Amino acid sequence: MEKDTIVISKGYDPLKYNGAVKPPIFLTSTYKFKSAEEGESFIRVALGLDKGEGGFVYSRFSNPNFDIVEERLSLLEGAKSAAVFCSGMAAITSTLLAFVKNGDYIFYTNPLYGGTEFLFKEFFEKMGVSTLHVNAGSESPKLMESMINSYKGKLKGKSVILYIETPANPNNVMVDLGAIVKIRDKLIKEGINAKVFVDNTFMGPIFQSPLEQKVDIVLYSATKFIGGHSDVIAGAVLGSEEDISKIKGIRGMIGTNGNPFDSWLMARSLETVHIRMQRQMENAKKIAEFLSKHPKVDRVIYPELYDKKSEQYRIYKKQCKGPGSLMSFYIKGGKKEAFKFLNNIKLCKLAVSLGGTESLIEHPKAMTHSEVDENTLKDAEITDNMIRLSVGIENYQDLINDLKSALDKI
């Protein structure tokens, strides 16, 4: 079966539930055991004390609605296993807590989503984990390798996470995942415990499959394209059975699990993720083209518009199946002009977040990335005149008319 069929037909069998074509929402916190022996064994498996089949115990550990999304997402992404969370940040935090402790290292590409950057600096650094970045882009693997080399003596016996967001939020710059995987393999050969984590929120699950490039873990803000309707906050992590079971252990311990209704919404939304993302991408191509020719726009960053001879274009063609529907662009002028433009937008929603059916537009420096320090913003070209646009499924001509009339007001 193809993936667009899988997401509708797998993970749930109506005949097990009175023929209900759509899954019920399992609003239960706890589950009845057939016997005390079964209860004992299910609990040991849920806590990771024993390996084996297991079963439902308590909805902090698992729930049938989590299982449906986890199975559908795993099949879509080509992963062995998945875990759903109550937010993208919960997914990122729980995953890192499963693998790093005081004294370990996270090497990452800048920019990341502002909340992730903040988490690294305000939480993991204070926990004693070193978080060090290089600029995202074609040079990232080279820069990251030389930064790691300068720390080599200190890495023995440590966990080292290579954390990548590609395309990066908000500047749409790409990092070559195959080249990052080679750095991890070299570290492993030298006896260093290294893993590659990729935040695939911008392109996944349709236009980019990092596990095909042999990364270890894929992370999502499922609030975005997976949820797809701006009505749920959720997260997901995918990877090997061993890694996901470790992450689920942390999830159950600290309670960052998803909830049944949000998981039901995600399973429902996954059925349309192909057609939503396809339509959003088709709209985005036309809008990027329009913006790139507008006299009040300085520059548009969108994969289809990368210089065809550039390394960024080579990476895009190698690891993505399409350009997606996010773009950033720079208005001619500064903050005053950017705000004037945003204040005159009528159809697109002036709001943070992305990946919904409606178009969402925002000012990264003042909004999604406001907690990021000046130098980091400068390195990632997150400037006063930068705008981020997430294109929805509206009629593209209406969107162009909206953007045009707001640009005309500057």
Ligand X SMILES: Cc1ncc(COP(=O)(O)O)c(C=O)c1O
By the criterion CB under 6 A, which residues form the site for ligand X?
Answer: 87-89, 113, 115-116, 165, 169, 199, 201, 221, 223, 233, 235, 353
Q: How far is the CB of 75 from ligand X (least distance, A)?
A: 22
Cβ closer to ligand X: 203 or 281? Answer: 203
Q: Is 40 exposed, middle or buried (0-12, 13-18, 19+ CB in 10 A)?
A: exposed
- DSSP helix/strand/coil, 65: helix
Residue type at position 361: I
Cβ closer to ligand X: 104 or 362? Answer: 362
Q: What pairing do the DSSP bridges indicate for beta strands 326-331 and 297-301? A: antiparallel
Q: How far is the CB of 44 from ligand X (least distance, A)?
A: 31
**Ranges of H-type helices in 161-272:** 177-189, 241-254, 260-270
CA dist 186 and 190 (Å) reads 6
Tell me the residue nearest to ligand X as measured from the CB.
88
| In contact, 227 and 32? CB cutoff 8 Å | no
Cβ closer to ligand X: 79 or 400? Answer: 79
CA dist 235 and 258 (Å) reads 8
Contacts of 210 (CB under 8 A, 6+ apart): 177, 198, 200, 204, 218, 319
Residue type at position 401: N
Q: How far is the CB of 368 from ligand X (least distance, A)?
A: 6
Q: How far is the CB of 114 from ligand X (least distance, A)?
A: 8
Q: How far is the CB of 67 from ligand X (least distance, A)?
A: 21
C-alpha angle with apex 163: 165 to 91, nearest 5 degrees?
80
Cβ closer to ligand X: 201 or 385? Answer: 201
Cβ closer to ligand X: 211 or 400? Answer: 211
Cβ closer to ligand X: 59 or 230? Answer: 230
Q: How far is the CB of 92 from ligand X (least distance, A)?
A: 6
Q: Within a 10 A sphere around the Cβ of 258, how many other Cβ atoms?
A: 30
Q: How far is the CB of 351 from ligand X (least distance, A)?
A: 11
CA dist 251 and 237 (Å) reads 11
User: Euclidean distance between the first and final Cα of the chain, in Å?
Assistant: 51
Q: How far is the CB of 93 from ligand X (least distance, A)?
A: 9
Asked whether the CA dihedral 319, 320, 323, 329 is positive or negative, the reply is negative
Distances (CA, A) of 226 to 15, 46, 203, 229: 26, 26, 10, 9
Phi, psi of 245 (to 5 degrees): -70, -35
Q: How far is the CB of 108 from ligand X (least distance, A)?
A: 12
CA dist 410 and 401 (Å) reads 15
